[in-house]
Structure 1
């Protein structure tokens, strides 16, 4: 077997086991990661990368190493699920960096967290004055959570005693890529006849619709393949 063909086959295998490993580990590892998730992810990536192009390493050794790491990560996840001390050890604790408008310099120094980066993350939360902050907490995944003081929070309908209609359902996808979502129609007791009649009211067929969604208030959003826009803004 030529070396080029071997690299191609090894790359396909590496992608396959990485995909399977990611599905086994779940969504948390590929979302906002804490320290343990970060270490696990780069380790699995290094193993699969070596499996793909390092032909001096035996395939079954790399697959075995990958499997062991996936098992260890899964075991650690289950241990953290049932044991609070283990969860604290692997993920760490959130750290308060602002309390009642005051910066906690000691906590920032422990995390090697600079005031410049704190200000940047506050601006990303639309906070430009530190005195507006009641609490700011660095989560275990590195993101900043901000709770403003009551007088600086956005007004809600509840604050103004404005009545709101309850929404007990999520939007329902009816059509995607010109094809009806059969399972969604069936699960929500919606018929083809009803959907066809709604499309006929708009002089459309299902094949002309790129995307259709039924909102909780029973309004239908439709996007057709032909947008009838003279000058599109998404062209590069």
Structure 2
């Protein structure tokens, strides 16, 4: 039990040191290092034939090497290229670059799957498609296939200069958010009164970037709510 707790603590500490990079954002080097650290931590938890301090040293070394590689990548373009590699173009002006795909052992089936995930069902719509260093596909459509924006139509928009501010979560008022954004409890109560609500009835409330307040109550008043996973 103590070894398992120590293993979890070391992994948690390593994750905090290495930052918030998600699995989908990992380079090949990051993925290998993470798998190795997980294997060492598992052995620390249940392999009683190995000394605890040996496992901790090995885990510490892997964390240090991964952190060092991230630091080098941050400071040096050559370092980034060494550890992460470069993106690879797989479609150019609607043409599939089979040679580049063969280098990565990247199949047409997988290319089509990733294109569909980007809402692209016709390859001729694509100007460029690149496989990033973390394996995701980035797609730039040809100009006449791109989604029209308000800027394209010269439609005026209201400026948004802040993130949404959570006011109530799980029925509790987030005092810190009110204070940091110069909002008062009185103002919040007035907003709830406008909706004929009491604070105890509110599950979630947020001040959107456009200045409007969204409020969700515990009672949704839906006669036949969808109950599917």
TM superposition score normalised by structure 1 = 0.93
Offset, 1:111: 0.5
Superposed, which structure 2 residues align to 1:119-134 within 5 Å?
A: 119-134=112-127
How far apart, in 1, do the equivalents of 2:222 and 2:4 lie? 43
Offset, 1:159: 1.0
Offset, 1:213: 0.3
**What count of residue pairs does the alignment treat as equivalent?**
229
Superposed, which structure 2 residues align to 1:35-114 within 5 Å?
A: 35-114=28-107
* Partner residue, 2:18: 25
Q: Deviations over 1:54-86 (max 9, x none)?
A: 111111111111111111111111111111111
Gaps of 5+ in 2: none
How far apart, in 1, do the equivalents of 2:24 and 2:200 lie? 35
Q: Verify the 8 A CA contact 1:94 1:137 in the aligned structure 2.
A: yes
- State the superposition RMSD in angstroms: 1.3
How far apart, in 2, do the equivalents of 1:184 and 1:43 lie? 40
TM superposition score normalised by structure 2 = 0.96
Quickly say closer, same or farther: Cα 1:17–1:207, change in 2 above 3 A: farther
* Partner residue, 2:160: 167
Gaps of 5+ in 1: 1-7
Secondary structure, counterpart of 1:169 in structure 2: coil
* Partner residue, 1:135: 128
How far apart, in 1, do the equivalents of 2:93 and 2:41 lie? 47
Q: Verify the 8 A CA contact 1:29 1:37 in the aligned structure 2.
A: no
Q: Deviations over 1:93-117 (max 9, x none)?
A: 0000000011111100100111111
Q: Verify the 8 A CA contact 2:158 2:210 in the aligned structure 1.
A: no
How far apart, in 1, do the equivalents of 2:169 and 2:43 lie? 39
Offset, 1:204: 2.2
* Partner residue, 1:3: none
How far apart, in 2, do the equivalents of 1:26 and 1:224 lie? 35
1:190 to 161, 179, 183: 183
How far apart, in 1, do the equivalents of 2:14 and 2:47 lie? 20
Q: Verify the 8 A CA contact 2:163 2:209 in the aligned structure 1.
A: yes
Q: Verify the 8 A CA contact 2:90 2:100 in the aligned structure 1.
A: yes
